[in-house]
Chain A
């Protein structure tokens, strides 16, 4: 019987939500689920603040909730409306199969992280690490099985979430300034990517990255 702390439960739930994301090709559903994933991660951050007595983590939690789980999805939804895409076509494997494999990847990361050394004094043990790794793998899978540039951005965001969860659960919390920097980086990156997508759409009349191979010569 495995006993989980609240933090571990929250991050594992966010990993499950991210895995569900792979099953739908509706971009709006993806964004919703991404928002939910990130809110859960923000809650986990907030929970970490208690045992470590670092009130700065609360601020970061608020920032994550505000920027990553509300602002970014809203911005991407706005971009989607502007370029009139609502549904990805999917690539490589069918979305249902991809979703099942992402669940299997969750199991796999569970097996893999068992061997990792557990740092003491952090809020979560290797279950948290497995959630982080699973998020990264899910993000990669999402990017692999999607065609549109917008989906690639979402996949990238999921990977970023995974890295953040891994750092959150395996360290005693990073300095506030670094966290803020990363957050800003992500925000600016997404803004740029969104605008670029908009530009790609204007220039090529599609944002299908499968057709970007035309650019190779």
Chain B
């Protein structure tokens, strides 16, 4: 055996042993492991920032795959950008995990968690760096399987098992579609390398659609988003942080890397993607509005954000086809910047949700409330995350959404067909509805969770979390603020890198015309000025909330998450299948009811009307197929025989 090969494989073999050892331990020194992850992530951050937009390509051989083909990797501006996102989120995970796991010691196997997390993070790195289809698929599978294992960490619960199964199913379908698309492209181009794939001829459009849908399933685009609201709530907090902050970006990276860089030349597919993106933005946030579980709400909001990113990417593809490099670059900057921003603020929100879960022992908004007094720092961090998710200036979400708005807005007059212009205006209109809904949902979750009085004992007895977990939140919140305030610089450098990577010749970098640092400074100055000039003037008296003179209000008289969302849910009831039944009973029921029963029902249209019937049909078919599986060895031998004869006949004919 070639000694150099062995030498090169040594770290991998060692790593496998280490991870195998790790996964058997139930109790281990978590701070040490988190330090390793932290340093790994920091190296990644430094590395990806230093490498910038310079392209490097290298290949290695794995012992298992030696002689079949080498694994090729490519590092350029685009991949270092997504590596950066992954690393930024991983730092937070390293801070969050030890504290979270120690709260869940009885239910979670720390060894399993840590080993799977390491493999997950590393495989995501490898997916981002891979330069050919086989490498991509190998690590993609590793990533999917480990994330599935991580979702099932708390596998004693029935609901978690179900969620993990749904997620597993979704990843299988995604991989199947991707493999089919990759094989198709291999047949056309004769190469596995992404760089030699070009989607500019009509015979490659089928492959492009397959690849697009495969990636859409994995990133949770409507109508394939079904797995998302199951998987995220079931996973432990650090895992949902990692999945929503980092993993969800990888399929989007794939779309950029394979379809956009592969010169996809079909405006129809781009319009189709734009449509899918806008529907998922609307659908996701609409369903987020009516959720009662914080993590489920955040999961649906992820659907929305992924939809926004897909919109930006498809707009970039459209602009590239129409030969508008400025808009293409702007939309692409919007997409990648929003990947980063969404990664950070969603990571922040998911870690806060996890912390609430550990401190108040519930994620149900119906039992929470008034956490601001017990957990002031968590509240502040969550508020920052919520404001960023609503894309409010000067936080980070705003900058990327502004870029998306601008690229849509500019295409209105840059594009020549009236239909395209109309599409752009409609998209802007939809985005404004989406931002209104986002505002309502995040107001709801912030207010119901943290403000007012607590709705149960559990939230009343909550305490502020430990320093490590708090550090994770503060870390994410700081990044939200820093990215938002320094948005013009970030946008500029992002678009530089992207332009270099994609070889776009653009007339000017789309720097944000908005001077966010000035804006933030002004807001702060005005705030302190007004606050100081008014603060000490008058005495402040504390008194109970106005109760119409009927005596102290109870926590039950407050608004609930359902009642806050009710007017909006009514307006959109055709989409939500939202129904309210109110039943009054008692003597003289109309004016003096003794009991009032209000029941709201919401059925997810897709699940009940599309997926459930489809599943029924599939299971029916499967039952029919099961007849062939008689269990008798003779019949199986018969099958083998028939197949053999058929194959021989076929080959003889050929």
Verify if A111 is at the interface (C-beta below 8 Å from B).
Answer: yes
The 8 A CB mask of A107-128 against B (1 = contact, 0 = none) is 1000100000000000000000
Tell me the dominant secondary structure on chain B's binding face.
helix
| Binding site secondary structure of chain A | helix
Query: How many Å from the CB of B419 to the closest CB on chain A?
Result: 8
Chain B residues with Cβ below 8 Å from A107 are 422
A111 to B419, CA, bound (A): 9
B202 located at the interface, meaning its Cβ lies under 8 Å from any Cβ of chain A in the complex: no
B571 to chain A, nearest CB (A): 10
Name the interface size band of chain A: under 10
Instruction: Report B-chain residues with C-beta under 8 Å of the C-beta of A111.
Output: 418-419
Measured CA separation A42–B267 after assembly (Å): 46
Closest to A111 in B: B418
Interface residues on B, range: under 10
Q: Smallest Cβ distance from B576 to chain A, in angstroms?
A: 16
A contact residues around B422 at 8 Å (CB): 107
Which chain A residue has the least Cβ–Cβ distance from B426? A104
Residues 172-198 of B, flagged 1 when their CB comes within 8 A of A and 0 if not, give 000000000000000000000000000
Chain B residues 390-422 with CB under 8 Å of chain A are 418-419, 422
B418 cross-chain contacts in A, Cβ below 8 A: 111
Q: Measured between C-beta atoms, what is the minimum distance from A37 to chain B in Å?
A: 25
Closest to B418 in A: A111
Scoring B residues 421 to 460 as 1 if CB is less than 8 Å from chain A, else 0, what string do you get? 0100000000000000000000000000000000000000
- Within the complex, the shortest CB–CB distance from A145 to chain B, in Å, comes to 15
A111 to B418, CA, bound (A): 8
State the Cβ distance, A108 to closest chain B Cβ, in Å. Answer: 10
Shortest distance between the CB of B154 and any CB in chain A (Å): 45
Considering the chains assembled together, what is the distance between the CA atoms of A172 and B574 in angstroms?
A: 48
CB distance from B61 to the nearest CB of A (A): 59
Task: Convert A22-49 into 0s and 1s, putting 1 for each residue whose CB lies closer than 8 angstroms to a CB of B.
Answer: 0000000000000000000000000000
Residues of the A chain whose Cβ atoms lie less than 8 Å from the Cβ of B419: 111
Cα–Cα distance between A111 and B417 once the two chains are bound (Å) = 11
Residues from 533 to 570 in B contacting A, C-beta threshold 8 Å: none
CB distance from A182 to the nearest CB of B (A): 34
Query: What residue in chain A is nearest B422 (Cβ atoms)?
Result: A107
A189 to B418, CA, bound (A): 40
User: What is the bound-complex CA distance between A111 and B422, given in angstroms?
Assistant: 11
Q: Output the least CB separation between B480 and chain A (Å).
A: 36
CB distance from A127 to the nearest CB of B (A): 14
Q: How far is the CA of A197 from the CA of B418 in the complex (A)?
A: 44
| C-alpha gap A107/B419 in the complex (Å) | 10
Q: Once the chains are docked, how many angstroms separate the CA of A164 from the CA of B6?
A: 88
Give the docked Cα–Cα distance between A107 and B426 (Å): 13
B-contact 0/1 string along A152-169, CB 8 Å cutoff: 000000000000000000
* Distance between B424 CB and nearest chain A CB, rounded to angstroms: 14
How far, in whole Å, are A176 and B121 apart by their CA atoms in the complex?
83
Give the CA-CA distance A141 to B338 in the complex, in Å. Answer: 41
What 0/1 pattern do residues 82 to 124 of A give for CB contact below 8 A with B?
0000000000000000000000000100010000000000000
Nearest CB in chain B: distance from A75 CB, A: 38
| B107 CB to nearest A CB, Å | 49
CA gap between A107 and B425 in the complex, in Å? 13
- How far, in Å, is A94 (CB) from chain B's closest CB? 10
CB distance from A126 to the nearest CB of B (A): 14
Quick one: closest A residue to B419, CB to CB? A111
Q: How far is the CB of A115 from chain B (nearest CB, A)?
A: 12
A208, B418: Cα distance in complex, Å: 41
CA distance A53 to B422 in the complex (A): 40
Minimum CB–CB distance from A203 to chain B (whole Å) comes to 35
Shortest Cβ distance from residue B425 to the other chain A in the assembled complex, whole angstroms: 10
Give the shortest distance, in Å, between A216 (CB) and chain B (any CB): 28
Q: How far is the CB of B413 from chain A (nearest CB, A)?
A: 12
- Tell me how far the C-beta of B605 lies from the nearest C-beta in chain A, rounded to whole angstroms: 18
Q: Tell me, rounded to whole Å, the shortest Cβ–Cβ distance linking B383 to chain A.
A: 34
Cα distance, A107 to B418, chains bound together (Å):
10
Considering only CB atoms, which chain B residue lies closest to A110 in the complex? B418
Query: A164 CA to B418 CA in the complex, in Å?
Result: 28
The minimal Cβ–Cβ distance linking A110 to chain B, given in whole angstroms, is 8
A175 CB to nearest B CB, Å: 37
Expressed in whole angstroms, the minimum distance between the Cβ of A112 and any Cβ of chain B is 11
What CA separation (Å) do A111 and B421 show in the bound complex? 12
> Can you give 3 contacting A-B residue pairs, CB < 8 Å?
A107-B422, A111-B418, A111-B419
Query: Would you list the 3 A-B pairs with minimal beta carbon distance, nearest first?
Result: A111-B418, A107-B422, A111-B419
Chain B residues within 8 Å of A, Cβ to Cβ: 418-419, 422
